[in-house]
Amino acid sequence: MTQAQTSAFADFTLSSALLKVLDEVGYEHPSPIQAETIPLLLQGNDVLGQAQTGTGKTAAFALPLLSQLNMQQKEPQVLVLAPTRELAIQVAEAFQRYASYMDGFHVLPVYGGQDYSGQIRALKRGVHVVVGTPGRVMDHMRRGTLQLHKLSTLVLDEADEMLRMGFIDDVEWILEQCPADRQTALFSATMPKQIRQIAEKYLNKPQHITIKVKTSTAETIRQRYWPVSGLHKLDALTRILEAESFDGVIVFVRTKTATVELAEKLSARGYTAVALNGDVPQNQRERTVQQFKQGKIDILVATDVAARGLDVERVSHVINYDIPYDTEAYVHRIGRTGRAGRKGDAILFVAPREKRMLQAIERATRSKIELMELPSTEIINNKRIAKFKQNISDTLAADDLQLYREILEQYQFEYNTPALEIAAALAKLYRGDKALLLKKEAPVKAAVDFSDDRQPRQKNRKDSRNRSERKLNPLEPGMQRYRIEVGHMHQVKPGNIVGAIANEADIESKHIGRISIFDEYSVVDLPEGMPAEIFQHLKNTHVAGRKLRISLDKDASVDDKQDGRSRRKTGNRKTQRSKSKAGAKRSQSNKQDNKQANKPDK
């Protein structure tokens, strides 16, 4: 299928409410996948799309589906399946954002680790769109709390990722329960055999779309990222501005309101910053850009729309305060620096849930974005001292100091105060309540530590296959060891287990401890104090097509006791012989279980 030659979103038959939002978020022209997908979904076709994360596919399916909603119907009309809770939340937020001017619209994200009662109440009140992970969606369907008899469209987002995480059986079960006359859209970065089989079986004459990303960035642009989110962004931005040697800076944010708010906050911190957005009158916008070119303004806080076509030689830094919606927007943004062979710097702030977009940007630009080192307190203080000294030198070079010399000479004579003491007092008077130096503090660390493959690092994890290795690694404080009934013979990988538990138990993957995989089962270390509801839910969670059937690992408790005895120097044989017969029987039983269940791989 050839790429649709659509010049603007207004060319689609989208509602005025959606077009108004698109103008606000800075969408002017549809990305390739949006240009091809939106008309097809509006016409009622099934779609099979092959596209990477970051190509704008969320808007590609969300916009046409929102346009066709029956706002009077309270039963779910759209179901979106996503592999992770982070993606489910992200897609739900996108639906909510696009539907800002659709009165009465309701979207509900459902995922494991969240209380059932809140989700059930929302479903009873009525929702138009449900976005969820396969396991939790399937649970609600079996409970009867999620009714899909009036479902009009089902979207499978990142299907290959759901296959990798072992959710494909759940997905097929859900597909079989949905109305036969539904519309289906399947999106996947790759098309392995199983995904193609699902498309052939469950999609009705789908229209095929393949998007090849061909974006690139100038080699003269140094690209860095810093993991940070929420209120910490402003502090990180301020520290970067203090430490980096810059000329002109463009800071990109997503909304018009954010441009004004951030510009005001930067101005309050002593920077000459001005907001630039679509609401700024054209004559004022031109005047602002001219002042920026002349160096009267150092920082522009802008949206994508406002910065289109902006070509200013002195732009040394582009800072993505808010990560862009797609990879093309990123390339456009950072293209404001490093022009005509000049060097430039591009810095990207990445929240924990936005790490997938970081990966997509790297794939699209075919370049690795390096983790930047946020300047230390010492570096910032040295910079401040140097700047303070330079201000003194600049002031001494002025010609209008005679009056002040006379006043200070009078003060020194009257109060017999050394000149250095007077200068120190004047410096403090000049600074006011604003401290010159930052206080000493612990080194600043990233909010999320990404490894080379951009997945959060997992500490103390090994794919152990024998009993002796487990004995060398006792439980860490605050952890509990569990057994799950899936192992090597089921072709499970540590990543499958991490994905399932992180999504269904709402545990950050970095808090999941050691995973040891054996032939028929595995053991995993999790934080103590797991709520009973989550424990029961994990029993029925599927990995590699099998239920986890999670339980406390008896063998681990025996090992821990034995490790404890070996570390205690006060133990003695008489105390051990005084154990009850019942205790001795339990110990013998556990030893027998260990012998059978923990045979190492041969």
In the predicted structure, residue 410 carries a pLDDT above the cut 80: yes
Q: Tokens 């970067």, residue?
A: 240
pLDDT at 474: 76
pLDDT at 572: 41
pLDDT at 180: 92
In the predicted structure, residue 344 carries a pLDDT above the cut 70: yes
For 598, the token pair is 């923990």
Q: Per CATH, which fold does 467-597 belong to?
A: Alpha-Beta Plaits (3.30.70)
Mean pLDDT of 540-555: 82
Return the top range by mean pLDDT from 37-41, 286-290, 394-398.
37-41
In the predicted structure, residue 316 carries a pLDDT above the cut 50: yes
* 7 phi, psi to nearest 5 deg: -90, -30
Mean pLDDT of 176-197: 92
- pTM flag (> 0.75): no
In the predicted structure, residue 463 carries a pLDDT above the cut 50: no
Of 33-42, 179-188, 275-284, the least confident: 275-284
Q: CB neighbours of 477 closer than 8 A, spacing ≥ 6?
A: none
pLDDT at 585: 44
Of 276-280, 400-404, 541-545, the least confident: 541-545
Q: Cβ–Cβ contacts within 10 Å for residue 167, how many?
A: 30
DSSP class of residue 431?
H
In the predicted structure, residue 562 carries a pLDDT above the cut 50: no
What gap in Å lies between CA 114 and CA 126, rounded to an integer?
19
H-assigned helices in 126-225: 134-143, 159-164, 168-177, 193-202
Mean pLDDT of 310-321: 89
* 129 phi, psi to nearest 5 deg: -130, 135
The dihedral region occupied by 273, where left means phi > 0, alpha psi between -120 and 50, and beta the remainder, is beta
Mean pLDDT of 298-319: 84
In the chain, what percentage of residues exceed pLDDT 70?
80
pLDDT at 217: 63
How sure is the predictor about 51, in pLDDT bands with cuts at 50, 70 and 90?
Answer: confident
pLDDT at 564: 38
CATH number (1.10.3470.10, 3.40.50.300, 3.20.20.70, 3.90.480.20) of 221-371 reads 3.40.50.300
Q: Please, what is the average pLDDT of the chain?
A: 80
How sure is the predictor about 147, in pLDDT bands with cuts at 50, 70 and 90?
Answer: very high
Q: Answer whether 221-371 and 467-597 agree in fold.
A: no
What gap in Å lies between CA 560 and CA 542, rounded to an integer?
29
Q: Which amino acid is at 230?
A: G
- Give me the residues paired with residue 225 across strands: 348, 371
Mean pLDDT of 546-554: 86
Mean pLDDT of 397-426: 86
Domains of the chain, residue spans: 9-210, 221-371, 377-431, 467-597
In the chain, what percentage of residues exceed pLDDT 90?
32
In the predicted structure, residue 108 carries a pLDDT above the cut 60: yes
What gap in Å lies between CA 32 and CA 12, rounded to an integer?
14
Mean pLDDT of 72-101: 91
Mean pLDDT of 346-365: 87
- 9-210 sits in which CATH class? alpha beta
Mean pLDDT of 489-498: 81
Residues 64-74: pLDDT tens digits? 999 999 999 98
In the predicted structure, residue 435 carries a pLDDT above the cut 70: yes
User: Is the CB of residue 127 less than 8 Å from the CB of residue 106?
Assistant: yes
How sure is the predictor about 444, in pLDDT bands with cuts at 50, 70 and 90?
Answer: very low
How sure is the predictor about 78, in pLDDT bands with cuts at 50, 70 and 90?
Answer: very high
| Residue with the larger pLDDT of the pair 416 and 511 | 416
In the predicted structure, residue 202 carries a pLDDT above the cut 90: yes
pLDDT at 601: 35
Length of the chain: 602
Nearest CA to 175 out of 192, 191, 197, 190 is that of: 197
For 422, the token pair is 């007077």
Cα 218 from chain centroid (whole Å): 26
| Residue with the larger pLDDT of the pair 224 and 283 | 224
